[in-house]
Amino acid sequence: MQAKWMKPSNVLLVTLVAGSVALADTDAVAEAPVWDLGDPHLSIIPRTAEEAARIAAVTAIATDFTTPHRFEEKPAGAATVRAMTNADAFSQPSGNITFEDQLDFRVGNGLFRKLWVSSPSSTLASDGLGPLFNARSCQRCHIKDGRGHPPENANDNAISMFLRVSIPAPTDAQITEIQDYIATLPDPNYGSQMQDFAVQGHASEYRLDITYDDELVMLADGTEVSLRHPTYNAADLGYGLLHADAMLSPRVAPQMIGLGLLEAIPTANILANADPDDLNDDGISGRPNVVWSVEFDQPMLGRFGLKAGSPTIMEQSAAAFAGDIGISSPLFPAGAGECTAAQTVCQNAIHGDGDDRGTEIDAEGMDLVTFYSRNLAVPARRDADDPQVLHGKEVFYNSGCTSCHTPSFVTHRLEDQPEQSFQLIWPYTDMLLHDMGEGLADNRPEARATGQEWRTPPLWGIGLTEQVSGHTYFLHDGRARSLLEAVLWHGGEAQVQRDAVTEMTTADRDALIRFLESL
């Protein structure tokens, strides 16, 4: 891919200097990494100096744990909704959405849930599936808009889990506008994602095979915790061998709530937390992922995906339609979806883009799916004032977990997105990349993310995972079967915090887990 530099109007030029953010003009830039990382996808009303001071005060890290922080019980601000007690807890529209916009939300929900069919079909609005795919709808991976899971056993399918794949690229494939970009290429036979389903007359690409080895971890209070180490194998390959240098990365579908609010966090606020050289000497060196946006044809801050490989909800959604379902869109118009040039039968198949839509899902459909995804609401906190929860919050903060899981932000003022505009939110993420150690490494880079780096996942809603998804599997590949196991997998930059948990008293550890479950 040969990237082109285009300087858009009305964006913020950001220079990473000494771990902080400085506003600069092009003449002031020296040798620090520089990208045009504004927020061109948002219609922003600039903040006043008075607002900036108010924001700094309200987002300051808590030091008093006798009562909940002000507004903490509403993690999505005015967009927060009541916490339902059934599996629909993640499927509600933003609490501040208008009655009129609820119709767009529900139509978007219909497209998110729609089962696509293969071409040719008399159902013209729904044909175009595959020919290779991982699921027939968005909802099949993001079950009830929640977290996916690895196969439970040998007879279970991997419908909410798949393998990313890439190979190292030559240096001339670098995107020169992005410093430290790690160039990769799709596997010549299998592309950038492995599809384990195919329409009739086509062979699927593979079958996901997982085996686990157990490791027993002894905590200071005598508690034994078993961690399972996964080994992944792309079995029953349908299109020849994988490249000798193929890098495989397992991915479980993440939960969908709060995406529009994460998209509305000012880029400058996220970059302000970056400390790539650990200049404050706390062992934490968060870095922004910077990716090339297909939507805007420029470098942008990566926000979405397990390695922050996508800059906007629209682009993430369109890429999922192409890779997961084989559905073309205005951003990714190939009718064959993820099929490679080597997969000639797939390339030559009948696709569903030959009618008035132009692509299998058109621009209007993508806008509706994006609106739906942007407005999936975050449920209210539960038991925020419970003494054990407050103690667990104190343990969480004092153990240094907030160094990566930044508690709160205030979103942009937005002209045309009132649901996300100027909201105090509590996602518990810094949206940055962190080295999580060899134990969690997938050894596959993505844009600027190395094979050991992952984006800090937001924690809001994590305590409702079992209620919504019917399981308690966490981390990028679902290997952790509980929140405690997820914590014990932390390494690299989070090794100190992980070790602190192993040395905790039973009361402190139980309180910590109770706090996480309240989010």
Q: Span 154-170, mean pLDDT?
A: 88
Which pLDDT value is given to residue 149?
Answer: 93
Which pLDDT value is given to residue 34?
Answer: 52
Domain membership of residue 183 (yes or no) is: yes
pLDDT at residue 56 greater than cutoff 60: yes
How open is the CA angle 243-248-251, to the nearest 5 degrees? 150
Q: Span 267-279, mean pLDDT?
A: 94
Domain membership of residue 22 (yes or no) is: no
27: tokens are 């003449």
Beta-bridged to residue 230, according to DSSP, are 212
- Give the H/E segment covering residue 391: helix 387-398
Q: Span 143-172, mean pLDDT?
A: 89
Domain membership of residue 43 (yes or no) is: no
Q: What's phi and psi for 250, nearest 5 deg?
A: -75, 140
Tell me which DSSP letter residue 413 carries. E
Q: Inter-axis angle of helices 363-374 and 99-113, to 10 degrees? A: 110
pLDDT tens per residue across span 462-484? 999 999 999 999 999 999 999 99
C-alpha count within 13 angstroms, C-beta hemisphere, residue 84: 16
Q: Span 68-72, mean pLDDT?
A: 93
Which pLDDT value is given to residue 23?
Answer: 29
Contact indicator for 118, 126 with CB cutoff of 8 Å: no
pLDDT tens per residue across span 296-326? 999 999 999 999 999 999 999 999 999 999 9
Q: Span 88-114, mean pLDDT?
A: 97
Q: How far apart are CA 76 and CA 54, in angstroms?
A: 18
pLDDT at residue 33 greater than cutoff 70: no
What type of residue is 311? Answer: P
Beta-bridged to residue 233, according to DSSP, are 209
Instruction: List CB contacts of 157: < 8 A, sequence separation 6 or more.
Output: 151, 196
Which pLDDT value is given to residue 41?
Answer: 84
Q: Largest alpha-carbon pair distance within the chain? A: 66
Domain membership of residue 17 (yes or no) is: no
pLDDT at residue 3 greater than cutoff 80: no
Chain center to CA of 350: 33
* pLDDT, mean over the chain: 91
Q: Span 263-270, mean pLDDT?
A: 96
- Specify the range with the lowest mean pLDDT, choosing from 32-36, 405-409, 445-449, 475-479: 32-36
Which pLDDT value is given to residue 385?
Answer: 97
Which pLDDT value is given to residue 35?
Answer: 62
How open is the CA angle 507-515-493, to the nearest 5 degrees? 90
CA distances from 279 to 20, 29, 275 (A): 10, 20, 7
Which pLDDT value is given to residue 20?
Answer: 31
Segments forming the whole domain that contains residue 434: 49-518
pLDDT at residue 173 greater than cutoff 80: no
Using a 10 angstrom Cβ sphere, with 0-12 exposed, 13-18 middle and 19 or more buried, the burial of residue 471 is middle
pLDDT at residue 430 greater than cutoff 60: yes
pLDDT at residue 30 greater than cutoff 70: no
Percent of the chain predicted with pLDDT > 90: 85
Domain membership of residue 13 (yes or no) is: no
pLDDT at residue 208 greater than cutoff 90: yes
Higher-pLDDT residue of 193 and 20 is 193
Question: How many structural domains are present in the chain?
Answer: 1
Q: How far apart are CA 374 and CA 359, in angstroms?
A: 22
Beta-bridged to residue 216, according to DSSP, are 226
Domain membership of residue 34 (yes or no) is: no
393: tokens are 């919050």
Using a 10 angstrom Cβ sphere, with 0-12 exposed, 13-18 middle and 19 or more buried, the burial of residue 6 is exposed
Which pLDDT value is given to residue 393?
Answer: 98
Q: How far apart are CA 432 and CA 206, in angstroms?
A: 32
76: tokens are 């999505």
pLDDT at residue 160 greater than cutoff 80: yes
pLDDT tens per residue across span 338-380? 999 999 999 999 998 777 778 999 999 999 999 999 999 999 9
Domain membership of residue 256 (yes or no) is: yes
pLDDT at residue 335 greater than cutoff 80: yes
The reported pTM is 0.92
Domain membership of residue 370 (yes or no) is: yes
Which pLDDT value is given to residue 27?
Answer: 32
Q: How far apart are CA 463 and CA 486, in angstroms?
A: 13
